[in-house]
Structure 1
Amino acid sequence: MPITPATIPIGAAVIDGLAWLRPRPHGIDRERVTLNGFGMEIIRPSGAARALRHGVVLYMHGGGFAVCGLDTHRPVAASLARSTGLPVVNVGYRQLPGRRISESVEDCLSAYRWLLQHGADPARIVLAGDSAGGYLAFATALRAIDAGLPVPAGLVGLSPLLDLDYAAKRDYVNIERDPFIPLSALEAVVRIGAEVDGTLDPMLSPVNGELAGLPPALLIAAEDEILRYDCELMARRLTAAGVSNSLELWRGQVHAFMSIFPDLPEGRAALGRVARFVRARLELPERARMA
């Protein structure tokens, strides 16, 4: 089914329905928060009373800026909460076709402002996301800097989309290898959510931003996915800007495997890497056992 403003709600309904077939996350407590026009939830390990000021992960879900939400990505947020011992704020930002990608970024920036207003220390906040959510994590950090807000402690991109220029990927070797995301899907999303009269503003892509002010970053991608292109480009540009970063390529996996299958061994291992990065950035002791 081609991606159009008319078909997006159909795809969203199907994916949301499938999400209810998955086992419910265990070992967590949830608190719902409503902001202006969208919602989010704070997920904590069961029984944990840790305040936001002690550390928090702000998580932006994937789904091509068009589908998925709090329900579909609650398992990955719960896994991160259990493995870090920290609250994870799962953001239900508004999406296509009703909102442009830049407006989704504004919702995520509002979530970051909310954390700061409710006592979270920016030096103890890590922004993270998968796929389109990875884009939002980096774009939100860049918008925060532009707005004069404090910089978070770290950034995590899981199979992140970081360059909206789909034309630049047309000759990339993984075009023929990625079993999950066709280039045509990326093109459709960018045309609907970012282009104006067929023109893309290059500054909408985090890889083209003023990267020198960003905090250390962790990038994880599947070896054969198309968005490996974005990760490698961002890693090179972060390094050139003097920003500490690490890029991990996982063999035999698919796009966003750690959020699609967070309870499989490979997903658990990748999220364990994220948890260690988060705890290192927040200077927290390593937990004895990753959940």
Structure 2
Amino acid sequence: MEPVIDFRPGVSREARRFAAFMRTAVRPMFAYGPMRPSMLRLAMLLDLGAPMVMRPPRGTEIGRVRLGDFHGEWVRPAGGSGARVILYLHGGGFFCCGLRTHRGLVARIAERSDAVAFSVAYRQLPTAPLAMSMADALAAYRWILDQGCDPERLVIAGDSAGAYLAFTTVIAARDAGLPVPAGIVGLSPLTDLDHEVRASYEYTRRDAYIPAHRLGALKRLLLAGMEPDAVVSPCDRDLRGLPPVFMLAGSREALRWDAELMAGRLAEAGVPHLLQIWEEQVHVFPAFAGAVPEGRQAIEEIGSFVRARTSSHPLGVVA
């Protein structure tokens, strides 16, 4: 089975301008800020200012839920039927972003999917290593199932680091004998912690705002106090038995490497999948749908996948 990759050509003027803005205004902060706990705590403040620029659509209802040592929130778009559920895991390199930064994206995906979403505020660096983030994601999945959610009406989704958790959660659920969801969605997915291999990828240095050379330091923080082989990247796990997967990435972002690698591994495992590569889009471009028309188009594609996978009579791998 060959990897299924669909190249989406064409880039809007708005997308080019936005990429230029991210390259000049955002990349320097990630590229040159010290990768130490004090700096990571400052990065967490990004979530507090997010509501000013990352607003959800009008009429979206939010309901907070406490889950032991972490929490989450229900995101209900106006007019949504609630016939299907999306468990969403936000990105941010395991050290920044949160429910507020991703509320607009999650609400738009839920709206176009005719779904409600449960967005998870899993614990992150500098106080929680990767293993704890993974444990929280799996606990949230168990909780959703305990609420009576039909796994055939459930899709797990995430962007960047959140996509890493989406894959590890489904793999852990399968290994624990739990039912797997109807599908997995990965936006610019991080699937490989081997930063040295990615460093040789032709687009790594062209990424608009993700400085891939910092991933080595981030990995050391994520795995602090753990055995080197304690955490195996999703791309290196046994992927057999996973549900259909939909992924997308920008053509000039560092994590295109991860997305293409994962597509190849899914093909080897016989897992139905589709990877869309969008020309010249930035990392997790659907999050910027308010500024980039391709982001809105991508959210429509995600919604089609979710609806197809969770309908009473699935239409296939993707719509």
Q: TM-score, with normalisation over the residues of structure 1? A: 0.91
- Secondary structure of 1:151's counterpart equals coil
- 1:190 and 2:229 are equivalent in the alignment: no
Distance between the aligned counterparts of 1:151 and 1:41, measured in 2? 21
| Structure 2 counterpart of 1:29, from 41, 45, 61 | 61
Structure 1 gaps of 5+ residues are 287-291
- Secondary structure of 2:140's counterpart equals helix
Distance between the aligned counterparts of 1:260 and 1:103, measured in 2? 29
Query: What code does the residue aligned with 1:220 have?
Result: L
- 1:98 and 2:123 are equivalent in the alignment: no
User: For residue 27 of structure 2, what is the aligned residue in structure 1?
Assistant: none
User: For residue 25 of structure 2, what is the aligned residue in structure 1?
Assistant: none
Moved more, 211-220 or 22-31: 22-31
User: For residue 7 of structure 2, what is the aligned residue in structure 1?
Assistant: none
Distance between the aligned counterparts of 2:54 and 2:225, measured in 1? 41
User: For residue 240 of structure 1, what is the aligned residue in structure 2?
Assistant: 268
- Count how many residue pairs are aligned between Structure 1 and Structure 2: 281
User: For residue 137 of structure 1, what is the aligned residue in structure 2?
Assistant: 166
| Structure 2 counterpart of 1:152, from 181, 200, 209 | 181
Q: Aligned in 2, Cα 1:284/1:82: closer, same or farther, shift over 3 Å?
A: farther
Contact 1:75 1:262 in 2 (8 A): no
- Secondary structure of 1:97's counterpart equals coil
User: For residue 17 of structure 2, what is the aligned residue in structure 1?
Assistant: none
Structure 2 gaps of 5+ residues are 1-32, 315-319
- Secondary structure of 2:203's counterpart equals helix
User: For residue 2 of structure 1, what is the aligned residue in structure 2?
Assistant: 34
- 1:254 and 2:282 are equivalent in the alignment: yes
Q: TM-score, with normalisation over the residues of structure 2? A: 0.84
Moved more, 23-32 or 257-266: 257-266
| Structure 2 counterpart of 1:68, from 97, 102, 119 | 97
- 1:118 and 2:150 are equivalent in the alignment: no
User: For residue 274 of structure 1, what is the aligned residue in structure 2?
Assistant: 302
| Structure 2 counterpart of 1:177, from 187, 191, 206 | 206
Query: How big is each residue's C-alpha offset from its partner over 1:111-135, in whole Å with a ceiling of 9 and x where there is no partner?
Result: 1111110010111111100111111
Query: What code does the residue aligned with 1:205 have?
Result: S
Contact 2:114 2:307 in 1 (8 A): no
- Give the superposition deviation at 1:16: 2.3
Query: What code does the residue aligned with 2:122 have?
Result: Y
- Give the superposition deviation at 1:21: 1.9
- 1:38 and 2:70 are equivalent in the alignment: yes
- Secondary structure of 1:233's counterpart equals helix
RMSD: 1.9
Contact 1:165 1:202 in 2 (8 A): no
Distance between the aligned counterparts of 1:228 and 1:202, measured in 2? 25
Q: Percent identity?
A: 45
- 1:167 and 2:177 are equivalent in the alignment: no
Contact 1:64 1:132 in 2 (8 A): yes
Distance between the aligned counterparts of 2:240 and 2:312, measured in 1? 25
Distance between the aligned counterparts of 1:284 and 1:69, measured in 2? 32
- Give the superposition deviation at 1:185: 2.3
- 1:59 and 2:59 are equivalent in the alignment: no
| Structure 2 counterpart of 1:16, from 40, 47, 56 | 47
Distance between the aligned counterparts of 2:166 and 2:310, measured in 1? 17
- Give the superposition deviation at 1:46: 2.2
Contact 1:27 1:82 in 2 (8 A): no
- Secondary structure of 1:238's counterpart equals helix
Q: Aligned in 2, Cα 1:12/1:165: closer, same or farther, shift over 3 Å?
A: same
Query: How big is each residue's C-alpha offset from its partner over 1:242-275, in whole Å with a ceiling of 9 and x where there is no partner?
Result: 0001010011211111124456311111111100
**Large movers: runs of 4+ above 3 Å:** 260-264
